[in-house]
Amino acid sequence: MKQVITGVNGLDKVLEGGFLRPSIVLIAGTAGTGKTTLVMQSLFNSAKNEEICMYITALSEPIAMINNFMSKFSFYNIAILGKGSVKYVPIGIDTIHKGSEAIIKEIEINVETIKPDRIVIDPVNVFAYGLDNELQRKFYYDFFTSMKGWNSLVLLTGEFTQDVLIKSTLGYMVDSIIYISNEPFYETNIRYLNVLKMRGHEFQGGKHSCKINKDGFNVFPRIRAKARTAVSNERISTGVKGVDKMTKGGFIRGSSILISGSSGTGKTILGTQFIMDGLLKNEPAIIVSFEEDIEQIRANSNMLKWNLQEFENKNLLKIISPLEYDAYELALQIEETIDAMKTKRLLLDGIGRLQRMLPQYAQLPEYIGTVTNILKSKNVTAIYTNELSNLTGATQITGMGISPFLDTVILLRYVEIKSEMRKAISLLEMKGSDHDKEIREIVIGNNGAEIKLPFSEYSGLLSGNPINTLSQAFMEAFKK
């Protein structure tokens, strides 16, 4: 057996390298899930690699109609049909009416003549319509006996629900089963691909989100944690002198930092200052914003005299606005961008919205934990910002259960002092390092964030309603 590429974006990763040839693979799912798009993409991309391919259909659609449907995809090239690398073989209704022997014989004649490396039969269960269970089993047994002698990779499509597929004759006769579903997801639907069976071959089980766009069928494999080969002790500036002092020299290279706080406390500004500090040192960076589009991010930064577009033009900065993405598509794009740009710093701004991007089977803490491990394995220092709902008073750090996966936790709060709302910053945790324990004032000005002296004369700051310390209260009492 030989392993061959699938020709489908992302599917080789799920299958740990591709299909096996010879083998018989069933691509199953209900109507409209993308089965035909997937197999046609596999055929045409394989034909570009000098494979001889054959497309067999029982729907009797003229080649002009198939060309019309498929021409919108970048993989589809009518010249490949003209060259003969993809052979189109329709099985007419007359042949189907003659029965299973006639169907198998006609297909065998074409296989013997063309000698294809890769064959698609789309859909296979049409040939068995109208047959009772016993005749269906006999047809599939004879058909599969014939297929085993072709020495080709055979891709079958079939319309099945998953419950019907489990009980079907096809299910246990094929070597592999890939099931595609189209499931509700908030106000829309999302496709999932699930490898149910793959004889003699390792694969990534479970559901993987997928999407059909101009490039065809795209699979976004679930991200997996990667082992970290080394741990850095290097310190890098946070971009804010006061935070550098609070962290005893800056963040640790390759660490993950959570900045949590209410709206307007300065989370995005702190994160962007960290990115700007790296850019000015020629460290490539990525900004992922879940709350603002790219133009708004640029405009907000320009108000602080940070010209992000200048660094975008130098290919030092990539800004991603992921609101239309699936979470695993986003993770794949971030990973590919890191590898392409040799990224050193990353800002994920507003991660509370990530929950809506996750498939129903996935949990946010595990997703964040895996993303964090991937970033650590690439030695990327990442800031995650999260908005809290409470302006003042007791609160959780995130309310999402993600803080245990992160190395450093910074909390920003509003505090009321003498009828004035001021902002406070505290460093709650920094794994592997000593850090400042005091609660300090943070001021946002025209040049970004600035850290002031500690609120040493007050206690109860995290409650949002500070009171004078005993010494301060004593001094004020004697002033009277």
**In this predicted structure, what is the pLDDT of residue 298?**
93
Residue 201 has pLDDT above 80, yes or no: yes
- Per-residue pLDDT of 90-101, as tens digits, reads 888 888 888 889
More confident site: 73 or 63: 73
CATH level 2 (architecture), domain 235-475:
3-Layer(aba) Sandwich (3.40)
Taking Cα atoms as reference points, which of 450, 436, 455, 453 lies closest to residue 241? 450
Q: How confident is the model at residue 397 (pLDDT cuts 50, 70, 90)?
A: low
The CATH code of domain 2-220 reads: 3.40.50.300
Taking Cα atoms as reference points, which of 301, 313, 302, 304 lies closest to residue 347? 301
Residue 125 has pLDDT above 90, yes or no: no
CA distance 172 to 167: 9
Share of the chain above pLDDT 70, in %: 91
- Per-residue pLDDT of 235-287, as tens digits, reads 999 999 999 999 999 999 999 999 999 899 999 999 999 999 999 999 999 99
CB 14 within 8 A of CB 27: no
**In this predicted structure, what is the pLDDT of residue 474?**
34
Alpha helices in 247-307, H assignment, sequence order: 267-279, 294-303
What are the boundaries of each domain within the chain? 2-220, 235-475
**In this predicted structure, what is the pLDDT of residue 398?**
56
- Per-residue pLDDT of 321-348, as tens digits, reads 886 678 888 998 999 999 999 999 999 9
Q: Which long-range contacts (CB under 8 A, 24 or more apart) does 310-317 make?
A: 311/279, 311/285, 315/284, 315/341, 316/279, 316/282, 316/283, 316/284, 316/285, 316/341, 317/275, 317/279, 317/284, 317/285, 317/286, 317/287
Asked if the domains at 2-220 and 235-475 fall in one CATH topology, the answer is yes
CA distance 380 to 378: 6
Residue 400 has pLDDT above 80, yes or no: no
CA distance 372 to 393: 30
Residue 46 has pLDDT above 70, yes or no: yes
The model carries a pTM of 0.82
Residue 467 has pLDDT above 80, yes or no: no
